[in-house]
Amino acid sequence: MTFKTTLLASTLAIAPIAAMAADLTIGFSQIGSESGWRAAETTVTKQEAEKRGIDLKFADAQQKQENQIKAIRSFIAQGVDAILVAPVVATGWDEVLEEAKDADIPVVLLDRTVDADKSLYLTAVTSDLVHEGRVAGEWLVSEMGDQDCRIVELQGTTGSSPAIDRKKGFEEGIAGHDNLQIVRSQTGDFTRAQGKVVMESFLKAEGGENICALYAHNDDMAVGAIQAIKEAGLKPGEDIKIVAIDAVPDAHKAIAEGEMNATIELTPNMAGPALDALEAYLASGTEPEKWIQTESKLFTSEDDNQAIYDMKKDLGY
């Protein structure tokens, strides 16, 4: 997978390339490869490090917090200059973050937040996860008007900040609209396979004709659910409206084909702003803001999703 940096920068709102930081060694504890978005984030992070001359030590935690903690301890033992971590869940980080702090190694959080004292990390590069859920909820409100709508929700990984915040945001988005009701809500662990399995169980429990909309915390689960809806003899995007988050190419394709209705973009380039902040901090002690917020853009059938799909595929997404 090769991302063409300049094009990607203009289309996915990426920060400009920073000065080369020769001789920096940075550890990156990645969650795993649960989604298309995650795979893209891994690719972009490796490319951002390479173009800056950074030696990136990559550790795939295979969805397990214990593996992330081990990786962070190993980075500390190796004396890296800094650590990037995409934390699989929100809690349980205090001890290992203290250890990094005691070793004077700055930690930057990528794409998810943690429930820990802010002094334990340098900055967090994330979207506004609550806002993403709210945008999804508000989109459904405008789509349904006064019609009654029974909604099913596919949550992300239990205990992860996007699962918690995207749920909260969506509930805020539909609040006060009593015609919209979440009737089932269960985790699909951010994967396509689980999205399909859980959607099958929703369809069985509720009866497909009684479900009016699906809100999925990421596109991969929505794509899995689309398959389940089709196998149940229903038309995704028509019989069941679908809104999700990430804006991966397959979501644009599904919208272009009328099988999905909306998605909210999460840039896979968290590493650009993170490495800019780290390089400035390591070079001159410049403290970044505690939260570097990335953009969240809504895409619907009013956008040229086929063109966006082609463009993102061309970029190697």
Q: Which residues pair with 187 in a beta bridge?
A: 155
CA 25 to chain centre: 25
Q: Which residue, 132 or 259, has its beta carbon nearer to ligand AHR?
A: 132
Residues with Cβ within 8 Å of 211's Cβ and at least 6 positions away in sequence, in order, are 150, 151, 152, 183, 202, 203, 240
Distance CA 272, CA 123 (A): 13
Q: Which residue, 21 or 133, has its beta carbon nearer to ligand AHR?
A: 133
Closest Cα to residue 98, out of 107, 90, 108?
107
Size of the site for ligand AHR (CB under 6 A): 13
User: Which residue stretch of 22-30, 34-42, 285-293, 300-308 sits at the interface with ligand AHR (rule: CB under 6 A)?
Assistant: 34-42
CB of 283 to ligand AHR, least distance (A): 29
Binds ligand AHR (CB under 6 A): choice among 8, 38, 253, 259: 38
Q: Is residue 155 classed as helix, strand or coil in its secondary structure?
A: strand
Binding letters toward ligand AHR, positions 140-179, x by CB under 6 A: ----------------------x-----------------
Angle at Cα 217 formed by Cα 212 and Cα 218, nearest 5°?
Answer: 105
Q: Which residue, 52 or 217, has its beta carbon nearer to ligand AHR?
A: 217
Question: Which residues in 222-281 contact ligand AHR (CB under 6 A)?
Answer: 245-246, 266
User: Which residue stretch of 33-41, 99-107, 167-175, 179-187 sits at the interface with ligand AHR (rule: CB under 6 A)?
Assistant: 33-41
User: Which residue stretch of 31-39, 62-70, 135-143, 297-305 sits at the interface with ligand AHR (rule: CB under 6 A)?
Assistant: 31-39
81 scored as a contact of ligand AHR (CB under 6 A): no
Q: Which residue, 240 or 247, has its beta carbon nearer to ligand AHR?
A: 247
Structure tokens belonging to residue 279:
């390089």
133 scored as a contact of ligand AHR (CB under 6 A): no
- Output the CA–CA distances (angstroms, integers) from residue 194 to 187, 232, 317, in the order listed: 8, 16, 22
- Output the CA–CA distances (angstroms, integers) from residue 97 to 29, 58, 116, 142, 217, in the order listed: 13, 18, 9, 43, 28
The phi, psi pair for 49, rounded to 5°, reads -65, -45
218 scored as a contact of ligand AHR (CB under 6 A): yes
Binds ligand AHR (CB under 6 A): choice among 3, 121, 190, 215: 190
Binds ligand AHR (CB under 6 A): choice among 44, 56, 108, 111: 111
Closest Cα to residue 257, out of 301, 199, 315?
301
Residue ranges in contact with ligand AHR by CB under 6 A: 34-35, 37-38, 111-112, 162, 190, 218, 220, 245-246, 266
